[in-house]
Amino acid sequence: MIHTIDPTIPTTPCPTMTEGGTAQGAYCYFPFKAQGITFTECTRELTTSNRLWCATTYDYDTDQLWGYCAGVYYYHVITMKEILVMLL
């Protein structure tokens, strides 16, 4: 079964507010698209900053609304393998 996502509707509410950037403290919008890449979380890609950022609308290239992910300076997605290693 193939699932499709309507890119104009956020898949989940994002609890991450932005700071700085052009979004004036708006919430991150996931997924968002920038330079042809779809992002589902805050990212360090496409920036020279070491801070994580996100768009606050689906189409960053058109809207140019973004901000740094407030309070998020390090981001690591833990894998199932890492969880199992911690439990063993």
What confidence tens digit (pLDDT) does each residue in 21-71 have? 999 889 999 999 999 999 999 999 998 887 899 999 999 999 999 999 987
Where b means 16+ CB within 10 Å and e means fewer, 51-68 reads: ebbbbbbbebeeeebbbb
pLDDT at 75 over 50: no
Integer angstrom CA distances of residue 24 from 15, 67, 77: 15, 8, 27
C-alpha 8/C-alpha 27 separation (Å) is 15
User: Do the Cβ atoms of 68 and 28 come closer than 8 Å?
Assistant: no
Distance CA 15, CA 4 (A): 23
pTM: 0.65
* Structural domains of the chain, with CATH: 18-87 (2.10.10.10)
